[in-house]
Chain A
Amino acid sequence: QITLEESGPTLVKPTQTLTLTCTFSGFSLRTDGMGVAWIRQPPGEALEWVALIFWNEDKRYIASLRNRLTITKDTSKNQVVLTMTNVDPVDTATYYCAQMRPSRSGVILFDHWGQGILVTVSS
């Protein structure tokens, strides 16, 4: 059974750094083709893909946030960490981590999702 769980602060102040952790089980980021993504959703709005890390350390970011984001993995702990610097109220959203279906052909599908964590940016 595959599970993912997001953890981190639910309230951060503007200009602070946000660190979110995705702890997963049931799969390994050592598996060829595997990846884990972060996807966010502002209240009442649509889904927005944010970042993705692959089994081979390849990392991709949404261009609009690239200079504020870092995604890393700790394979031994089955964790993926997303760091976002200089947060703003517009970053208020539910942040989901999701397992990407293993693929070496560029197919990006999100098979399993965490329950999400609502992060509010406010002073």
Chain B
Amino acid sequence: EIMMTQSPATLSVSPGERVTLSCRASQSVSSNLAWYQQKHGQAPRLLIYGASTRATGIPARFSGSGSGTEFTLTINSLQSEDFAVYYCQQYKNWPPVTFGPGTKVDIK
């Protein structure tokens, strides 16, 4: 089973700042990595897949990078609606599909 870790667990930022979230896989997943955003009380939403491709309707301020075991989600100029929990998910080797523990982005 591929284990996913994310850092930091929580990030306190101000609107307008640039945010960088990290995700690490216990073994290479190539580019088979997705990012989801989950706002409080809502279902997750797919943001990024293939490590760097934005899903339909996702603003350009969201970008993903990385391959192998190290991945990054960057949010440029954080907006108020971006405060949420972000999860990474690998789909290289499954079952199981595995998610990271999440990074919470909250208001400083």
Contacts and interface: CB of A to CB of B under 8 A. Distances in A.
Interface of A: 37, 46-49, 52, 60-63, 96, 98, 106-111, 113-116
Given A107-B32, A108-B91, A49 B99 contact: yes
Contact of A49 (B32, B55, B97, B100): B97
Interface of B: 1, 32, 34, 36, 38, 42-46, 49, 55, 87, 89, 91, 94-102
A47 B95 contact: no
A98 B32 CA distance: 19
A98 B99 CA distance: 15
Contacts, number: 56
9 contacts: A46-B100, A47-B44, A61-B95, A63-B1, A63-B96, A106-B91, A108-B91, A110-B36, A110-B44
Contacts of A61: 95
